[in-house]
Structure 1
Amino acid sequence: MSPTTTSTSRGDALAALAEYPLTGLEKSLPAAAAGLTVAEFLATRPRLSAFRTPLLVLDDGALEHNLARMATWCAERGVDLAPHGKTTMAPALWERQLRAGAWGITVANPAQLRVAIRFGVPRVQLANALVDPAALAELADALGADPELQVHSWADSVDTVAAMNSALGPVHPVRPLTVLVELGAPGGRTGARDLPTARAVASAVSASPYLVLGGVCGYEGALAHDRTPAGLDAVRRYLRELGELHLALRAAGAYPAGEAVVTAGGSAYFDEVTDVLAPLAGPDTRVLLRSGAYLIHDDGFYRGISPLAPANNAGATGGTALHSAMHAWARVVSRPEPGLALLDAGKRDVPYDEGLPEPQLAADQLGAPAHPITGEISAVNDQHAFLRLDPATPLRVGQVVRLGLSHPCTAFDKWQWVPVLGGGPDGSGDPDPDPVVVDLLRTFF
């Protein structure tokens, strides 16, 4: 892990990406990119029509809208944001989130932590237990080399703390590692299953010569999958327990001098998190959301469940709804039956775990004027999507279809390079059907 955490070093690392040489073998990039660096390729002002299908694209206007919307939403409620970087694993997008006011970036495993530190993220939350000895030694080195770097990891059992102590003993870390106690719930994911167990974990952290207790943490999204009254009630009960844990630890003097963090909040229930936990924020407590999908949003799962989705009365929260910033383009490669078209995008290209893609627009070619299309993606294979449509629909082999996607976390992991289209604020508002590509994002999955 390279301990580079200043804004200058972040800029240097991102600038290095711009000098990355393209080979012409990158998925969906045009052959004309071969032999150019990313910066040189973008300087040619390539347009959507230059790319190949299947293709994942982002809309720059929608990204800007979502960044501003979430930043305002958090500021109005007195909470901070450490968006989950695993959603995109794109350091250029992390930088935009940091510049929009994010406190830091959240990651999920040691490999992602290495990327965050390499690209100079100053504050990183590892929303997981860190017990791999090699990863702990690497992190200890990074913390020792850079006194400004802040990293939080999680622990949900005394055994977790023991494993960390065992790994760190031979390392003799210069600085203690900050650990948050994770509270879970029966039927949930990780996390201590009750308050007494969580308090025992906190005591074990406090007794460690290598660790320091930094707060409490948890994930409410595993307890519900919708916004029904029963689902929301389960989320609120859990969040109240998380708040009780923090208050008990603070009253017991378990936190050393300085600020404690209370963190929860995926992308589905961050309104409930702020309602329950925001009152805890103060001089000695930072309430930290980890919502990650807000930046990209989607045309599926989050469109239905996000507090800032139109379906959930986003206007009542004091602003406009989030916009889907991602779409895929796929080409018709077969019309074997009157009501069936096969597209050249499949499981290797588009997400399918939280709903299948939805057909939205059709055009003769990428960059050509498009028109709405109705139909349904009924299944995806490795490299094909089954588009069911009215037999009379005039969709020909060779034409292209724009697809709305669900769940950005499993969209980005299929792409190493993602073009960003300049233009409208909602992914389709640019009157030019063939927008210029203004950026080419590199992901690190």
Structure 2
Amino acid sequence: MLAEELNAKVNRLLDNYIVFDGEFLAFTPWWGGNELGYTFYPQPHYPEPKEIIGKTKWTIRTLCGNVPEKLGISEKNASTVKVSVSILSHGEMYFDKIPNIDDMIGKSGGRSSKTRSYLDLLRDMREEGYKLLFPSYSSATNPHLNREFGGLYKLLTIPRFYLKAMGRRSQRQSEIIQEIFKSQPMKPGFKIRIRVFSRDKEVSKLFVNAMLITLKYLGIGSAANRGFGRFKLTKISHAIEGIKKDLDITKEIIVECKREGNSSFPRFPSPQDIRVIKPVNAYIRRNKYRAEDIEGVLAAIGISTLKSTWKSVCNAFMGSGRGYHTWVLGLPREVNGKGYISKNGELRRQSYIVMSPTEDLGVILLPFYVEDYTKIYHSDHGQVEVTNINRVNPNCKTLPPSQVIKEHVDLALDWLEEILR
């Protein structure tokens, strides 16, 4: 009883400092992860305050060049803004039981299990997913697969999930399928409530406006740059003056702040930099298929980032792909010693471009320009620095090398727009 009374007293005290209280609907899948990296094990994992706060601070820094000290930029500076998250409706799984992989390998494709492999099954399941997402899609293969796992098949059309489903060489196939069962994304449609508390009205106004941009356009959780983790505001119970409720970053920059700092941190794109694509098409085997649901949009986004897709546009299936500069879309991108490498160890960097689905099944391309280039080499047929390699555009014309990162980002935008339209 004492604990309940204490909690009630704390809640009443917090209510005196509430600056925002709103409800949000997940309109793309949420791919979160607990300390084990699982979305659904041992229990469902939903967005947490620390995830929202961390990504919102990143957004503020891209907008303003720095994060105000009052938002807690170091251990010495405690944040004057607090966030709470509560779950209003629970999320659903794409597949709610672990499939019997051995049995599916034996039955899929009508061939003997002795001539089949786990990767063969993955390809068949992806083909079935294409058929479910794109009604006009046809395939030479006709796998006899259980439609009970249709949600899994749809997920496998998304390259990021397909890569995870391939697993590591050290894993048995039964271990891989258990891993993706536990860590599968959560279906869109669940609701959360977010409340923000602060004594400082000015810094909290900046924080809430940036948070709304983050949730709708940049996403939280895994694969946010590829469209996962988007939430739209559906209801406001309380908001202080100055909070923008109807956000449209394609028309104006909502957050007002004086930008400070150097060019070594990404800059939030201006409305003129942003590209809007609608409708969206998935480019599969040199054919385009209209995306009619959010999973189709995510599949189209993932496919558009693949070097194999860029080469396919130019019918360049054989030979080196070094002229197709996909390193702009994030690293690592190295397979069997070929691809992009660094001479200083493992190479990791985020994509310069965030690909954000819209509620009406479009895609917004958000380029985050920054001059933070460190030497990247392409290792196919010898190691050559990417800024010294010719570039191929979507018209399949060869362009000279460029030392200007913005030119590489703009060319990648051209490629994505060409493939997705």
- TM-score if structure 1 supplies the norm length? 0.25
Comparing both structures, which one devotes a greater share of its residues to strand? 1
- TM-score if structure 2 supplies the norm length? 0.26
